[in-house]
Amino acid sequence: MAMPIEKQAETETPEMERIKKSLTTETLWPWILALLSRKPRHAYVLRNEIKKEFGFLPGTVTCYKVLYILKSRKYVAVKRDGRKKVYYPTEKGKQELLKAKTLLNQLSRELHG
């Protein structure tokens, strides 16, 4: 099992801390779409689910902001569960996540030479 991203950062150089922040908390949408692709969720659980699944903790309001943007771009949709909203990815959102995964895999291969 890989070491959580947060634990790795404790001994990292400023350069590594910057790239990890850039690819995690500053680019949160693929992480949210990945979680929602596994199982629709309420907005309030996303932050802790990200911490549990991926090892980093986004800001308190950040998940809500990203969800709002994803919804406005039709990457996620909402169902009502009583008074709560449950978010799930649309087909467009699944395609965007696939494009992000493809790009990240391509970049990783290029770095490996």
Q: How many residues does the chain have?
A: 113
Q: Where are the alpha helices (DSSP H) in the chain?
A: 5-9, 14-23, 29-38, 43-54, 62-72, 91-112
CA–CA dist 44, 75 (Å, integer): 18
Q: Are 100 and 28 in contact (CB under 8 A)?
A: no
pLDDT band at 8 (very low <50, low <70, confident <90, very high): low
**What percentage of residues in the chain have a pLDDT greater than 90?**
85
Q: Contact at 8 Å (CB) between 33 and 93?
A: yes
pLDDT at 1 over 50: no
For the chain, what percentages of helix, strand and coil (3-state, to nearest 5) are there?
60, 10, 25
Determine contact, residues 86/39, Cβ cutoff 8 Å. no
| pLDDT, greater one: 7 or 84 | 84
Q: What is the pTM of this model?
A: 0.87
46-79 per-position pLDDT tens digit:
999 999 999 999 998 999 999 999 999 999 999 9
**Is the domain 24-112 a CATH 2.30.30.40 member?**
no
Which tokens in the block code for residue 94?
């699944």
Task: State the chain's mean pLDDT as an integer.
Answer: 91
Q: Where are the domains of the chain?
A: 24-112
